[in-house]
Structure 1
């Protein structure tokens, strides 16, 4: 089963304030009062004045993100190819600006058939405070995986779920289209939890698990 993520995560009120005037911003609700902003071409064009750039080649530690947050982070010369500094800010500049109100993370992940990668970066106080961090193997303790580590730096607290990724509910949708639908329908992680509980009550075998949008225990490794 595949999983894809390209999103900004931060306190939901911070994101709501920063995107209130944007036509293409759709916020998905997470647990612990966090929100997820799916990054789409339409949103990028509205934020930066241009369609997004994507890095060439496979993501790596040297090139952790597929989405080019800024030429400096991507290590390319896209700014010079456009003939100088852009009139509109890069996404990295916007996230740095937003982070003056609280920590902001950009998260990427893509898995299919157990193979893939994840990467994350955190801004705070107007500058990068952590990352970028990239991992393809995911053979370290779960708390050190890039997305989990970034969520901890946002202030995600431990709970009954296996890690911050599941605790906040990032497993509930499998891709950008799912998060857009999640946000437009005003769904919350509680909605899925209630469905699961209702399903469990109807089952005769207590060992069965509810069908959810994706695995919790080993997302990205299955």
Structure 2
């Protein structure tokens, strides 16, 4: 299965206040009173007035994010970027301003068939406080993986789940479209757990009869 993430994560009230007047900001609930803001081209353009820039090659330690956040992160060679706007620099400055109200993280990840990468960066008090960090091997302890380390710096606390990534619920959706739907539907971070519990209760009901499948057309495939 594949996984893709491009999002800002911070305290839910911080993000709610900073995005209240935006048409393209969709907040998805996470655990521990955090929220996830999917970063889309429409959101970047609304925030900065310009289309986002992306690197042309594969992300690396030198260019940790596919989304260019600033020239310093992307390198000074304009040939390493596609798109001609200044949205990356403006977005970085914007997240720095937001961080005057609390820590803010930008997270990226992309995996398919077990291969991929993740990267993260944290702002606090109006400046970069940690990162950017990039990893494509993930052979260090989980706590040192970029996203886990960034979430810990936001204040994520240990719990029943294996790491901060799962504790906050970043595994619940697998791409930007999923997070947008999650936010628009107002789902909680425990939505899938609640569905599983409901399913288990139904299966344990002695009066529950097996549902007989109908024709293929009834499954929505016709």
User: Common fold, TM-score beyond 0.5?
Assistant: yes
Displacement over 6 Å in runs of 4+? none
Q: Deviations over 1:52-110 (max 9, x none)?
A: 000121100011000001122211355xx9xxx96996111000000000000000000
Gaps spanning 5+ residues in structure 2: where? 205-222
- Distance in 1 (alpha carbons) for counterparts of 2:107 and 2:33: 17
Partner of 1:134: 134
Question: Given the alignment of the two structures, is residue 143 of structure 1 paired with residue 143 of structure 2, yes or no?
Answer: yes
C-alpha distance in structure 2 between counterparts of 1:177 and 1:71, whole Å: 28
- Say whether 1:45 aligns with 2:45: yes
1:66 match: secondary structure? coil
* Partner of residue 189, structure 1: 189
1:35 shift after superposition? 0.3
Query: What does residue 7 of structure 2 align with?
Result: 7
**Equivalent position SS for 1:31:** coil
Note the aligned Cα RMSD (angstroms): 1.8
Cα 1:157–1:88 shift into 2, 3 Å: closer
Question: Which stretches in structure 1 are left out of the alignment for 5+ residues?
Answer: 205-222
Matching residue of 1:212:
none
- For 1:16 and 1:37, the matched residues in 2 are separated by 10
Match of 2:72 in 1: 72
**Within 2, Cα distance between the matches of 1:88 and 1:108?**
14
Change (3 A) 1:162 1:203: farther
Secondary structure of the equivalent of 2:18? helix
Partner of 2:98: 98
Alpha-carbon distance in 1 for matches of 2:154, 2:198: 32
2:153 aligned partner = 153
For normalisation by structure 2, the TM-score amounts to: 0.85
Q: Which residue does the alignment assign to 1:219?
A: none
Aligned positions, number: 199
